[in-house]
Amino acid sequence: MSLSPDQRSSGPRITCKPVNTEPNEYSPEERKLLLKLAHEAILTSLEHRELSLNPVPPHLAEPRGAFTTLYLRGDLRGCVGHVYPLDSLYHTVAETARAAAFEDTRFWPITLDEAAELEISLSVLSPLRTVQPERVEVGRHGLLVSLHQHRGLLLPQVPIEHGWDRITFLEQTCRKAGLPADAWRAGAQIEVFTAEVFGDRDRD
């Protein structure tokens, strides 16, 4: 699942503030490498240069879902990600960085001047796993609710930002899927994931 908003604007309209919900899996060196890759993916696109994606470090070659969030002078400037592990984390970071920079339809594409000032945050998602509703943990889990062709996802930070309890979180994710609020009680599949979040500001 690739997520990106669908309305272009000259500035941010919603927040995309990541929340770290898991102990660190990635070393400082791996984090630095992924952040450098995200910046390079954007810059090479703007400069019409090739981006080398080989060789991929073994740990970063594992398939993982991830989101790339861009900030410019403190304001959100793009946020796109894949929930499902469609490719290696290394390739996914490069792809989502470019998508956040040039394909997030809330914003105009990043310019070369802006690229030099971008701050990047990466959210690496755990594999999805199916749980019973009572096992959903607000503040730790992101949520994916599915039924037939309907599917809705909310990231771990959303219930925290809105002050929702577990039931409200489930109901709102059902609504995001275009389902009745109580679909989580009536056969919808409930899957959760966690996120490890790190960014340029962590290195200050």
The 10s digit of each residue's pLDDT in 50-92 is 998 888 889 999 999 999 999 999 999 999 998 888 899 999 9
Which of 131, 134, 163 is closest to 145 using CA atoms?
131
How many Å apart are CA 20 and CA 163, to the nearest integer?
A: 17
How many Å apart are CA 164 and CA 81, to the nearest integer?
A: 24
How many Å apart are CA 118 and CA 76, to the nearest integer?
A: 10
How many Å apart are CA 94 and CA 82, to the nearest integer?
A: 12
Question: Where do you find CATH 3.30.700.20 in the chain?
Answer: 2-20+27-125
Helix count (H) and strand count (E) of the chain?
5, 9
pLDDT bracket for residue 2 (50, 70, 90):
very low
Q: 104-158: per-residue pLDDT in tens?
A: 999 999 999 999 999 999 999 998 999 999 999 998 999 999 999 999 988 888 8
pTM of the full predicted structure? 0.77
Model pLDDT, residue 183: 97
CA distances from 25 to 35, 55, 132, 194, 201 (A): 15, 21, 26, 12, 18
Q: What CATH superfamily is the domain 129-193?
A: Hypothetical protein ph0010; domain 2 (3.30.1490.150)
- Angle at which helix 28-46 crosses helix 89-102, to 10 degrees, equals 40
Residue 175 CA neighbour count, 13 Å, CB half: 7
- Does residue 173 have a pLDDT over 60? yes
Model pLDDT, residue 143: 93
Bond from prior residue into 85 cis (ω within 30 degrees of 0): no
Which CATH code fits 2-20+27-125?
3.30.700.20
Question: Where do you find CATH 3.30.1490.150 in the chain?
Answer: 129-193
Model pLDDT, residue 20: 58
Structural contact between residues 126 and 70, judged by C-beta atoms closer than 8 angstroms? no
Sheet holding 142-147, edge to edge: 129-130, 189-193, 142-147, 150-154
